[in-house]
């Protein structure tokens, strides 16, 4: 079998935003959001006008919905909200709290665009956060426990990832305790959210990838293994940018003896004391090459043999099935990865494959890029 590596690295547009959604007082709507694949605010039976941002009666509509909510709390889910009329709330005061709710409503139903990201916290005792993407136009959600079959204006959300909150940064965890119903997340946290959602991605001039250890038995030898891959990736990316076709002996010596130029290094975030990850972010494709090489060594270690390795290296290629992938970026990752495999020779490459296989079986090592088995044809796919 031949091995092809899929980066799974989408290109995130600069105009895509990340919204923080709080799931109601006491996190009451959390399960509804996840089960119905929606997000909404606590506005039962709210009827939105055609252009909410231009409506002059949005505060009265919010006041009416608040009255509906209070009536449900008082009378139970059999209450009929049509008994409360909008005309009874035309003089509703524009309080500070209602103005905040109005802005949250406009954020959700107008400002948030399809493709924007949403991060949703659980209560601390449940210990997870969820990341999703908004899709499509307005819809309706339901909170049957309190409001029965009464609809609530909502947005469709595709939930992409659920991760332990103790594995995210302190800054992100603290930000998620902000109980504004729906607001923009701080922009300095965007890269972390994109990493949680995708593992690998390209965002402007930033490239990111993630290497996971799904078990607790992550050793210092595994960290050294990833460090060696990082150095090899940096040397190969530099060689590609300098127009070289191969890595020569002096390049490999530089890997061991010299620190790569800053543009070929990665910032790193790690949580490896238990099941966790190493996240790499770089200004060049180095981080994606780290993911591609890690996946390659794992794939070869599991599916190839030392005797078959020369043929597998000859047919090796990196592809990217993610939507909006940049073919030039993918080609550079493929060239740099193939350069490393060619430079090391069969013995050293196979030693790295064995190390990857051992780490995969013991520590659950895996990459945000994945190896894909192909029928061995002897030709590049």
Within-domain flag for 381: no
Within-domain flag for 196: no
Within-domain flag for 141: yes
End position of a domain, from candidates 116, 146, 180: 180
Q: What angle do CA 50, 56, 60 make, to 5 degrees?
A: 95
Same domain, 6 and 27: no
Same domain, 334 and 210: yes
Per-residue confidence in pLDDT tens, the chain, 381 aa: 577 999 999 999 999 999 999 999 999 999 999 999 999 999 999 999 989 999 999 999 999 999 999 999 999 988 999 999 999 999 999 999 999 999 999 999 999 999 999 999 999 888 899 999 999 889 999 999 999 999 999 999 999 999 999 889 999 999 998 878 999 999 999 999 999 999 999 999 999 999 999 998 899 999 999 999 999 999 999 999 999 999 876 777 777 677 888 999 999 998 877 788 999 999 999 999 999 999 999 999 999 899 999 999 998 999 999 988 999 999 999 999 999 999 988 999 999 999 999 999 999 999 999 999 876 444 444
Same domain, 104 and 149: yes
Within-domain flag for 294: yes
Same domain, 224 and 247: yes
DSSP-derived letter for residue 176 is T
End position of a domain, from candidates 121, 145, 180: 180
Same domain, 259 and 168: no
Q: Note the pLDDT of residue 377.
A: 46
Q: How far, rounded to the nearest angstrom, does the alpha carbon of residue 316 sit from its chain's CA centroid?
A: 27
Enter the tokens of residue 212.
Answer: 């996971």
Same domain, 113 and 43: yes
Rounded Cα distance between 108 and 113, Å, is 9
Same domain, 354 and 215: yes
Same domain, 175 and 234: no
Same domain, 160 and 221: no
The overall pTM is greater than 0.85: yes
Within-domain flag for 379: no
Same domain, 276 and 355: yes
Structural domain boundaries, residue 337: 2-11+203-374
Enter the tokens of residue 77.
Answer: 């889910």
Same domain, 111 and 239: no
Within-domain flag for 191: no
Q: Note the pLDDT of residue 380.
A: 44
Q: Note the pLDDT of residue 216.
A: 84
Q: Note the pLDDT of residue 379.
A: 44
Within-domain flag for 33: yes
Residues 6+ apart with CB under 8 A from 366: 211, 212, 214, 295, 298, 360
3-class SS of residue 64: helix
Strand bridging mode 117-121 / 18-21: parallel
Within-domain flag for 72: yes
Structural domains counted in the chain: 2
Tokens 């270690």: give the residue. Answer: 301
Q: Note the pLDDT of residue 1.
A: 57
Same domain, 142 and 220: no
Rounded Cα distance between 63 and 202, Å, is 43
């Amino acid at each position: 079998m031949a091995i092809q590596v899929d980066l799974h690295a989408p290109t995130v547009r600069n105009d895509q935003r990340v919204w923080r959604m709080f799931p109601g007082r006491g996190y009451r709507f959390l399960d509804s959001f996840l089960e119905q694949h929606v997000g909404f605010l606590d506005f039962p039976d709210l009827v939105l006008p055609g252009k909410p941002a231009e409506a002059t009666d949005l505060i009265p509509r919010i006041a009416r919905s608040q009255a509906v909510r209070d009536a449900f709390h008082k009378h139970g889910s059999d209450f009929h909200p049509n008994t409360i009329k909008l005309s009874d709330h035309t003089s509703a005061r524009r309080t500070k709290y209602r103005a905040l709710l109005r802005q949250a409503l406009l954020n959700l139903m107008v400002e948030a665009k399809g493709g924007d990201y949403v991060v949703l916290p659980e209560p601390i005792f449940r210990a997870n956060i969820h990341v999703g993407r908004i899709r499509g136009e307005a819809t309706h959600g339901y909170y049957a426990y309190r409001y029965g079959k009464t609809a609530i204006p909502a947005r469709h959300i595709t939930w992409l990832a659920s991760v332990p909150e103790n594995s995210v940064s302190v800054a992100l965890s603290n930000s998620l305790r902000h109980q504004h119903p729906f607001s923009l997340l701080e922009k300095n946290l965007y890269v972390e959210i994109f990493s949680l959602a995708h593992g690998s991605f390209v965002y402007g001039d930033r490239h990111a990838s993630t290497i996971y250890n799904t078990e607790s038995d992550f050793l210092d030898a595994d960290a050294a293994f990833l460090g060696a891959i990082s150095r090899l990736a940096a040397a190969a990316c530099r060689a590609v940018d300098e127009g070289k076709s191969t890595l020569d002996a002096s390049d490999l010596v530089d890997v061991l003896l010299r620190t790569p130029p800053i543009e070929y290094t990665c910032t790193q975030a790690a949580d490896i004391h238990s099941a966790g990850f190493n996240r790499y972010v770089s200004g060049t494709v180095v981080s994606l090459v780290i993911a591609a090489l890690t996946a390659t060594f794992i794939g070869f270690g599991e599916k190839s043999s030392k005797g078959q390795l020369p043929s597998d290296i000859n047919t090796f290629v990196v592809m990217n099935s993610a939507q909006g992938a940049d073919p030039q970026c993918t080609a550079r990752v493929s060239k740099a990865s193939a350069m490393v495999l060619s430079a090391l020779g069969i013995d050293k490459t196979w030693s790295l494959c064995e190390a990857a296989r051992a780490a995969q079986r013991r520590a659950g090592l895996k990459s945000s890029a994945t190896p894909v088995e192909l029928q061995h044809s002897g030709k590049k796919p």
